[in-house]
């Protein structure tokens, strides 16, 4: 049986039983170790009340988020960001996920109104399942038989990777077996427009906080040399006869044999 926490004054008056609540994602959330997850959350309360404090806990024991950082459990310090506010948004982001982060997360808010103070805790809470990193995609580059960008996952991953462009559209290049049973995706610049960028995503293991599995690939612009000029400090401008230095920089150029 699901339990719902209702403030005592609501039971007595019957006026606000439907106004208090916390809405979380339906069903458990799943993420891979080392990645990041956002727990979507919103909350409501009667008009005329003001929220004074919010907090998140894990399994009712560890404080995951609190305005007073000293109350946050050591395991979560520096890895949690509260994305919400004191109005209606209570979303929470946890980065650098560890297997030990798995558990039930509960949001609590405290409010004051009509000369009273009360609090509300989300029940039953949001279940978060953290798997190992067997489905973390790995990016690479190959030059043979032609230039290409690769994305691979290990053989133990039950899912397969896919390429997505900036607009979120899936691209389906050829999947090839990788070493040790891994699955590898390859895509070449000739398949893309100039300046295109791709993201490699393994369904069910999207790391929404990390853009590392995204790589620009396309027509490479020619390396344009950059010339910088410098002269002695104190001179606002150069005059005829003054000395100066020119420095030329460019990536991927062969050693300079001479200047013209």
**DSSP letters spanning 70-118:** GGS-GGGTTTEEE---SSSB--EEE-S--GGG-EEEEEEEEEEETTEEE
Summarised one tens digit per residue, pLDDT across range 148-202 is 777 777 777 777 777 777 777 776 655 555 544 456 666 666 666 666 677 777 7
Task: Count Cα atoms within 13 angstroms, Cβ side, for 52.
Answer: 10
- Structure letter (DSSP) for residue 212: T
pLDDT at 104: 98
Highest mean pLDDT among 38-52, 153-167, 189-203, 236-250: 38-52
* Among 111, 4, 105, residue whose Cα is nearest residue 62: 105
Candidate ranges 7-11, 180-184, 239-243; pick with highest mean pLDDT = 239-243
φ, ψ of residue 75 to 5 degrees: the values are -65, -20
Distance CA(153)–CA(164), nearest Å, equals 16
pLDDT score recorded for residue 131: 80
Where are the domains positioned within the chain? 8-131, 133-216
Contacting residues for 223 by C-beta, under 8 A, at least 6 apart: 250, 251, 252, 253
Q: 260 pLDDT exceeds 90? A: no
Q: Which residues pair with 152 in a beta bridge?
A: 138, 184
State how far the Cα of 165 lies from the Cα of 167, in Å rounded to an integer. 5
Domains 8-131 and 133-216 share a fold: yes
Question: Given this model, what pLDDT does residue 206 score?
Answer: 52
Task: Give the mean model confidence (pLDDT) for residues 92-101.
Answer: 92
For domain 8-131, give its CATH number from 2.60.40.10, 3.40.50.2300, 1.10.630.10, 3.90.700.10.
2.60.40.10
Contacts of 67 (CB under 8 A, 6+ apart): 53, 54, 55
Nearest to 76 by CA among 92, 54, 87, 52: 92
Q: Is 1 a residue whose pLDDT tops 60?
A: no
pLDDT at residue 138 greater than cutoff 90: no
pLDDT above 80 for 240: no
Read off the pLDDT band of 137 (50, 70, 90).
confident
In this model, does residue 73 exceed pLDDT 90?
Answer: yes
CATH class of 133-216: mainly beta
pLDDT given for residue 224 in this prediction: 39
| More confident position, 8 or 73 | 73
pLDDT, average across residues 212-240? 48
pLDDT tens column, 161-173: 777 777 777 766 5
Q: What's the rounded mean pLDDT across residues 207-226?
A: 42
Q: What is the pLDDT of residue 174?
A: 57
pLDDT at 185: 66
Q: What is the pLDDT of residue 112?
A: 94
| Helix H or strand E segment including 13 | helix 8-13
> 251 pLDDT band (50/70/90 cuts)?
very low
pLDDT attached to residue 133? 66
Over range 84-111, report the average pLDDT: 95
Q: Count CB-CB contacts under 10 A for residue 90.
A: 27
Flag whether pLDDT at 28 surpasses 80.
yes
Closest CA to 154 of 129, 141, 136, 140: 136
Mean pLDDT in residue range 114-143: 84
């Amino acid at each position: 049986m699901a339990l719902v926490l209702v403030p005592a004054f609501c039971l007595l008056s019957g006026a606000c039983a439907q106004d208090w609540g916390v809405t979380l994602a339906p069903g458990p959330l799943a993420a891979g170790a080392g990645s990041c997850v956002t727990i979507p959350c919103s909350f409501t309360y009667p008009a005329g009340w003001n929220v004074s404090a919010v907090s998140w806990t894990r399994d009712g024991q560890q404080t995951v988020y609190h305005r007073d950082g000293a109350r946050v459990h050591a395991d979560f310090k520096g890895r949690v960001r509260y994305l919400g506010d004191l109005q209606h948004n209570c979303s929470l982001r946890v980065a650098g996920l560890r297997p030990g982060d798995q558990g039930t997360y509960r949001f609590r808010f405290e409010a004051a109104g009509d000369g009273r103070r009360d609090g509300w805790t989300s029940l039953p809470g949001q279940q978060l399942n953290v798997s190992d990193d067997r489905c973390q995609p790995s990016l690479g580059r190959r030059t043979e038989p032609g230039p290409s960008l690769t994305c691979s996952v290990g053989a133990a991953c039950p899912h397969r990777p896919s390429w997505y462009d900036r607009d979120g559209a899936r691209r389906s290049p050829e999947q090839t077996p990788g070493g040790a049973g891994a699955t590898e995706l390859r895509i070449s610049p000739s398949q893309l427009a100039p300046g295109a960028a791709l993201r490699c995503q393994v369904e069910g293991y999207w790391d929404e906080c990390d853009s590392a599995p995204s790589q620009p690939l396309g027509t490479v612009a020619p390396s344009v040399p950059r010339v910088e000029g410098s002269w002695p400090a104190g001179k606002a401008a150069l005059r005829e006869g003054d000395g100066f230095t020119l420095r030329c920089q460019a990536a991927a150029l062969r050693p300079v044999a001479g200047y013209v």
